[in-house]
Amino acid sequence: MKLNKNINQKNSIFKSWLVILIAILFIVLPFIINAYWVDVLFFFGIYALLGLSLNIVLGEVGLFDLGHMGFMAIGAYTTAILNTYFGIPIMILLPISAIAAGAFAWLVCAPIIHLRGDYLCIVTIGMGEIIRLTLNNNPFGITGGPNGVFGIDFPSLGSIFVVDNSTKFYYYIWLIVGLTIIGLVNLQRSRIGRAWNCIREDEIAAEATGIDVRYYKLLAFVLGAGLAGVAGNVYATKLMMVSPESFNFMESCLLFSIVLIGGMGSIPGVLIGSAAISLFPEFFRTFAQYRMLIFGAAMVAMMIFRPGGIWPRKRGAAEFKSLLMKAGEENG
Amino acid sequence: MKIILEQLLNGLTIGSFYALIALGYSMVYGVMKLINFAHGDLFALGSYLGYTLLVFGSTYVTVTFGIWGGMIAAMLIAAIGIGIAGTLIERIAYRPIYSVGRLPAVVSALGASIVIQNGIMVVWGPRPQAYPSQVVPSVMLNIGGIKITLLQVIILAISFVLMGLLYYIVQKTTFGAAIRACALDRDTAALMGINIETIIFFIFALGPALGGMAGVMVGMYYRKISFTMGWNYGLKAFTATILGGIGNIPGAMLGGLLLGVLEMLGSTYISTAYKDVFVFLVLILVLIFRPRGLLGEKVAEKV
């Protein structure tokens, strides 16, 4: 037992050094690589944020959500419309987008939260498609139809701190991702995080122990949607425009894959998964039209050889029994 | 009144495509509890196989088998080709991970779907292709004032025959009883001496074969096919499956036909641009009030 404890302590010291090392790497990286790769890493950050947001719903609570891009679309369009029509600054719209997406999730998910597994899955797909199609049809002439909304401002605080080039955008998104990770790690260790995991492992047992399953599931959806709304806000300001095709079903599927490739409920896993999804096509750019073919084949191979994900979370590994045996004592 | 009836017929035509594709989803789900996301792309692949035969082999086929031969040959080729492709996908992408859980299989299915879709793009090119125009003579029939094309009659006839055949196989034969037993409880079925491997093989051959034939019919009906169309039809067909009750074969047929009719009526009486929104709204409403789908049985929760 004592030996085990020592190993755990060493492990955690090693882990904190690793985290610091990676943080330093992310800070110095823009000075080493060229502007193109800074942009690639920016989109890696967007995917990481989206992956973390879906991880709350799918990874922590185990709810199948294949329409997550819809929430991002709500955030992005809230930002785009309020900024271009009313000139509200982006920084004020950042929390507003999150609240709008969260409120929308609450409204839509409250009546359907009792559905299970695949039924919830198809309803979220339907919801995502309804959002995309509605934006595409230009309701009340405010979403600009298939062309979208143009001319969104840069994020700024006063006139000194303006995020207006690739490097600044890179720091901006990774600052948000970093803060999100700190928040989520604390959330995982809290009463809420344990309740979520309990629901994922056995919903009936969770209910029997007095966890308000409905409340915690809705909370996960609202928080996940809110984070996706933040990602939508940053995405809209970076591209300076939004269009409905950025939020299609395929993208939602990619997000779903990010969480599963990384490892359900595991934050480092989600980061690795989003790196795989966003960087892989870039590295294989030389293969041109074959790269998506390779990408799909890699997804299949990945699941065959590591079905639990690249970096499975120890507490989340109960369903993968062999992994649990290797992982040993719980210290998630 | 005439318009309603004509739209109903149009809706049934589209609905029969959805129903044929939905059957594949439903059969696989019933036995494997797996959403085969690659199914929609298999349907698109079937469409392309039929296209290749009709464009490059048309003179040979017509000379050997007559005018109708082209259509029948294209559908047979699509059915056989896609049946093989379906079983191959099961072998490569799904079989190694059944035991691990359901979620990795979903990602694997998505990966397989991306592979097929981009495979089509690499082989046939990214631009949409056009089916030859005169596979079936374009004749407009007039039945009591209701206009319907010969092609629609043929599509409806073939679809209903195929669905009837499948219904007969699943509900009336011993083999069908084995399939249903597997859907209820796979382990017990195996203990009763049912060869699960054979059942899985046939499920993954039959379902995609129906989808492949639907692909050829969609090509003949709309005449334009593209490599991304698998997603759209797959999504609609999957919606139809859930609408009817997943894992339920008559449910998938009913769901598909209903979805087609709803879509047509929605685009006639509400708005063409919002017809898909209307379809998904109906789906969500059905699931709120009847979470198991229209024909789905209520399954007691296992504790």
| 3-state SS record for A143-204 | CCHHHCEECCCCCEECCCEECCCHHHHHHHHHHHHHHHHHHHHHHHHCHHHHHHHHHHHCHH
Q: What is residue A327's predicted lDDT score, i.e. its pLDDT?
A: 40
Q: Which chain B residues are closer than 8 Å to A123 by Cβ?
A: 283-284, 287
Q: Does A126 reach chain B within 8 Å, measured CB to CB?
A: yes
Quick check: A256 and B107 CB within 8 A? Answer: yes
Q: What is residue B1's predicted lDDT score, i.e. its pLDDT?
A: 74
Helix axes A68-86, A213-239, angle to 10 degrees: 50
pTM for the full predicted model: 0.84
Compare CB distances from B114 to A122, A290, A296 and report the shortest one's residue: A296
Q: What is residue A322's predicted lDDT score, i.e. its pLDDT?
A: 40
**Distance (Å) from the C-alpha of residue B273 to the closest C-alpha of chain A?**
6
Q: Does A283 reach chain B within 8 Å, measured CB to CB?
A: no
Q: What is residue A319's predicted lDDT score, i.e. its pLDDT?
A: 44
Q: What is residue A8's predicted lDDT score, i.e. its pLDDT?
A: 59
Q: Does B301 reach chain A within 8 Å, measured CB to CB?
A: yes
Q: Does B125 reach chain A within 8 Å, measured CB to CB?
A: no
Q: Does B216 reach chain A within 8 Å, measured CB to CB?
A: no
Q: Are A307 and B104 in contact (CB under 8 A)?
A: yes
**Distance (Å) from the C-alpha of residue A217 to the closest C-alpha of chain B?**
17
Q: What is the pLDDT of residues B254-271, one digit of tens each?
A: 999 999 998 888 888 887
Q: Does A303 reach chain B within 8 Å, measured CB to CB?
A: yes
Q: What is the pLDDT of residues A210-233, one digit of tens each?
A: 889 999 999 999 999 999 999 999
Ranges B133-137, B159-163, B222-226, B272-276: which has the least confidence? B133-137
Q: What is residue A10's predicted lDDT score, i.e. its pLDDT?
A: 64
Quick check: B114 and A122 CB within 8 A? Answer: no
- The stretch B184-189 carries a mean pLDDT of 87
Q: What is residue B84's predicted lDDT score, i.e. its pLDDT?
A: 95
**Distance (Å) from the C-alpha of residue B93 to the closest C-alpha of chain A?**
6
Interface test with A, best of B92, B99, B110 (most A CBs within 10 A): B110
Ranges B9-18, B64-73, B243-252: which has the least confidence? B64-73
Whole-angstrom distance, CA of residue B257 vs CA of residue B16? 6
Compare CB distances from A307 to B93, B101, B110 and report the shortest one's residue: B101
Q: What is the pLDDT of residues B147-180, one digit of tens each?
A: 888 888 889 999 999 999 999 998 899 999 999 8
**Greater confidence, A326 or B213?**
B213
Q: Are B64 and B129 in contact (CB under 8 A)?
A: no
pLDDT in tens, chain A (332 residues): 455 555 556 667 777 888 888 888 888 887 888 888 888 889 999 999 999 999 999 888 888 888 899 999 999 999 999 988 888 888 888 899 999 999 999 998 888 888 877 788 888 888 998 898 888 888 887 888 888 888 888 887 777 777 778 888 888 899 899 999 999 989 988 899 989 988 888 888 888 888 899 999 999 999 999 999 999 999 999 888 888 888 888 888 888 888 888 888 888 889 988 988 888 878 877 776 777 788 888 888 888 888 777 777 765 444 444 444 444 433 33
- Which chain A residue's Cα is nearest to B108? A300
| Mean pLDDT computed over every residue of chain B | 86
Quick check: A299 and B118 CB within 8 A? Answer: no
**Distance (Å) from the C-alpha of residue B14 to the closest C-alpha of chain A?**
19
Compare CB distances from B111 to A130, A290, A300 and report the shortest one's residue: A300
Compare CB distances from A137 to B273, B281, B288 and report the shortest one's residue: B273
- The stretch B133-157 carries a mean pLDDT of 82
Q: Are B77 and B50 in contact (CB under 8 A)?
A: yes
- Which chain A residue's Cα is nearest to B97? A304
Q: Which of A5, A46, A37 has the alpha carbon at shortest distance from A174?
A: A46
Among B residues 218-237, those touching chain A with beta carbons less than 8 Å apart: 231, 235
In chain A, which residue ranges form alpha helices assigned H by DSSP? 2-32, 35-54, 68-86, 90-109, 117-136, 166-189, 191-201, 203-208, 213-239, 249-262, 267-283, 291-305, 321-327
Q: Are A133 and A71 in contact (CB under 8 A)?
A: no
Q: Are B49 and B212 in contact (CB under 8 A)?
A: yes
Task: Supply A194's token pair.
Answer: 């344990």
Quick check: B101 and A319 CB within 8 A? Answer: yes
Whole-angstrom distance, CA of residue B51 vs CA of residue A277? 33
Q: What is the pLDDT of residues B200-212, one digit of tens each?
A: 999 999 999 999 9
Helix axes A90-109, A213-239, angle to 10 degrees: 140
Q: Does A325 reach chain B within 8 Å, measured CB to CB?
A: no
Q: What is the pLDDT of residues B65-106, one digit of tens each?
A: 666 777 888 889 899 999 999 999 999 988 888 877 777 888
- For the cut 60, the answer to whether the pLDDT of residue B301 exceeds it is no
Q: Which of B129, B127, B152 has the alpha carbon at shortest distance from B224?
A: B129
Q: Which chain A residues are closer than 8 Å to B100 by Cβ?
A: 307-308, 320
Q: Does B105 reach chain A within 8 Å, measured CB to CB?
A: yes
Whole-angstrom distance, CA of residue A238 vs CA of residue A199? 37
Whole-angstrom distance, CA of residue A191 vs CA of residue B301? 27
**What contacts A307, CB < 8 A, 6 or more positions away?**
A320, B97, B100, B101, B104
How far is the first Cα of chain B from the last one, in angstroms, to the nearest whole number?
Answer: 52
Q: Does B294 reach chain A within 8 Å, measured CB to CB?
A: no
Q: Which of B238, B231, B273, B274 has the alpha carbon at shortest distance from B259?
A: B238
